[in-house]
A and B are shown apart, each in its own frame.
Chain A
């Protein structure tokens, strides 16, 4: 399998539930990202991991908790979400972030609905 794989593709959860989104990349990249895509809004960068260390957190509420156990895997742990958190969550990976500025490779996303 190649590319960036996200599971599950769809998730419906209540506001009191705890769930996790999973992302796996098979491209040998060393940086991974979580983006939130809401209708009629630009993609919002949530978290960036480079070499398994979190290097960016764009003021994301604490009900979203990322985890990057190794350079191929990225998780987003969710708890006590709000209905406005319903969106498409996209994972991406890239190689480096320096002069090479490798483009992002995206997964197909997880469509999250909070009820």
Chain B
């Protein structure tokens, strides 16, 4: 069984500041990990994913995440926030070979202020 915990339902940063969205997971098998973004009135869009190999993965729009097995974490970062980054972000986990069993976190709403 897998689970995901996203710390902080709301995060506010100033434009140009570092973005850090936290995600911790629980999995009985080596996990596949995902970050999705949801803009208002839209569906979810894949930002990045970790399956195997390099633990630092780069995604779209300047985001990246690092898989840390010892900390069971997959935090999402971006060096410099832009107003267009304001959205809701979802972390998700699945077991290898089970795309239909994607377990999502409750989401973190990112606000970017001037």
Q: Which residues of A contact B (CB under 8 A)?
A: 4, 6, 31, 33, 40-43, 45, 48, 50, 55-56, 90, 92, 94, 96-99, 101-109
Contact B98 A101 (CB under 8 A): yes
- What does the 1/0 interface line of B1-28 toward A look like (CB < 8 Å)? 0001000010000000000000000000
Q: What is the bound-complex CA distance between A105 and B42, given in angstroms?
A: 12
Q: What is the bound-complex CA distance between A50 and B49, given in angstroms?
A: 22
Contact A104 B99 (CB under 8 A): yes
- Of B45, B49, B98, B104, the residue contacting A43 (CB under 8 A) is B104
Q: Is B97's CB within 8 Å of the partner chain A?
A: yes
Count of A-B residue pairs with CB < 8 Å: 65
Q: What is the bound-complex CA distance between A102 and B46, given in angstroms?
A: 11
Q: Which residue of A lies closest to B4 (CB)?
A: A42
Contact B46 A103 (CB under 8 A): yes
With A43-B104, A98-B97 known, 12 other A-B pairs at CB within 8 A are A41-B106, A42-B104, A42-B105, A45-B101, A90-B44, A92-B43, A94-B99, A97-B100, A99-B97, A102-B99, A106-B45, A109-B43
Q: Is B79's CB within 8 Å of the partner chain A?
A: no
Q: Is B32's CB within 8 Å of the partner chain A?
A: yes
Q: Is B103's CB within 8 Å of the partner chain A?
A: yes
CB distance from B55 to the nearest CB of A (A): 17
CB distance from A33 to the nearest CB of B (A): 7
What chain A residues lie within 8 Å of B46 (beta carbons)? 103-105
Q: What is the bound-complex CA distance between A106 and B46, given in angstroms?
A: 9
Query: B19-75: which have CB < 8 Å to A?
Result: 32, 34, 36, 41-46, 49, 51
